Homo-oligomer: A and B are copies of this chain.
Amino acid sequence: MKVAIVGLGLIGGSIAIDLQAASFATELCGVETNAEHVQQARSRGFCDSIAPLAEALAGADLVILCLPVDSLLNVLPSVLDQVSAQTTVTDMGSTKSALCERLKNHPRRQQYVAAHPMAGTEYSGPLAAKRGLFQNRTTVICESELSGALHLRRVDALFDALGLRKVFMSAKDHDLHAAYISHLSHISSFVLANTVLDKEKDVSAIFDLAGGGFESTVRLAKSSPEMWNPIFAQNRDNILQALNAYLEHLTVFRDSLVAQKAPATYALMKNANSISRVLQTLSLKSAGSSTAKPGRPS
């Protein structure tokens, strides 16, 4: 099977590393337009070859697009136009509604599988790629009823090779949940960093005090604006809903402090503690080695 990976940054590079380790492809061809990234991808040996897009697509059985979500809106329809009638095309973008909407009337829609692996780090580019990035994480597959059986099977095999569990939902549901569970975390980190940096203008001593708690809470503030701005644009309504909910909850917490209502503040923290359930569920799943059974969802 010839596999083409378009975009060799954190996600594309990490996929390449895992597919090589799994001997998944008979030919693994990469596409990358950033000259510095080409050099880095070559030095890390991500693919058998790095080629122009048309060359990579020629004869490809599976094309994996790992591009920012604004690029995907243009590149994905064009790739579908160029590939053969048997080629499977999938993407790893963090928003799904705009893309699925764009493709819904494409004559080759059934060759496309819309996906989003919930994995990543705050770093980007080929040097950030790492083996096992997706292991025991979850990938969402959207609108699978619009994808052909052959193409779902191929993407299924891809995700098995990467160690990803699969969940199925509508693009609309995906974007709403992603806003709360992923996009909001990024905003809370970006803004926490800005709040502290704003204060730090006056006092550099603050650097000395930053401990492990601050470090983990603010980690995502290092994320790439180039990647996140298009996500915010495409998922704006859901993100605003989540952000407004966050502002409301923050105001409730603030007001309990203002009113010195210790029992109310206590209750808010006690409620927050139950997030342990989510994190334990996550860690139990990560500890397990098996992924969900492949197959067409009901």
Binding site for B on A (CB under 8 A): 118-122, 137-138, 140, 165, 167, 169, 173, 177-178, 180-182, 184-200, 203, 205-223, 225, 228-229, 232-233, 236, 239-240, 242-247, 249-251, 253-254, 257-258, 260, 262, 265-266, 268-276, 278-279, 281-282
Contact = CB atoms under 8 A, between A and B. Distances in A.
A249 B191 contact: yes
Given A181-B214, A187-B250, A195-B249, 11 more contacts: A167-B209, A173-B205, A191-B253, A192-B246, A193-B274, A194-B253, A198-B249, A213-B219, A216-B216, A223-B269, A236-B257
Secondary structure type dominating chain A contacts: helix
B225 A209 contact: no
A232 B255 CA distance: 12
A192 B203 contact: no
Nearest to A246: B195
Which residue among A138, A165, A185, A275 has the maximum number of chain B CB atoms within 10 Å of its CB?
Answer: A275
Contacts of A257: 232, 236, 239-240, 243
Contacts of A180: 195-196, 199, 206
A187 to B, nearest CB: 6
A253 to B, nearest CB: 5
B209 A177 contact: yes
Which residue among A233, A242, A266, A269 has the maximum number of chain B CB atoms within 10 Å of its CB?
Answer: A269
Given A138-B211, A274-B197, A269 B190 contact: yes
29 contacts: A137-B211, A138-B208, A177-B205, A181-B206, A182-B213, A189-B272, A190-B268, A190-B272, A194-B268, A195-B242, A195-B249, A197-B271, A197-B272, A197-B278, A206-B278, A207-B278, A210-B278, A210-B279, A210-B282, A217-B219, A218-B279, A219-B279, A222-B276, A228-B269, A232-B265, A236-B257, A240-B254, A247-B250, A250-B250
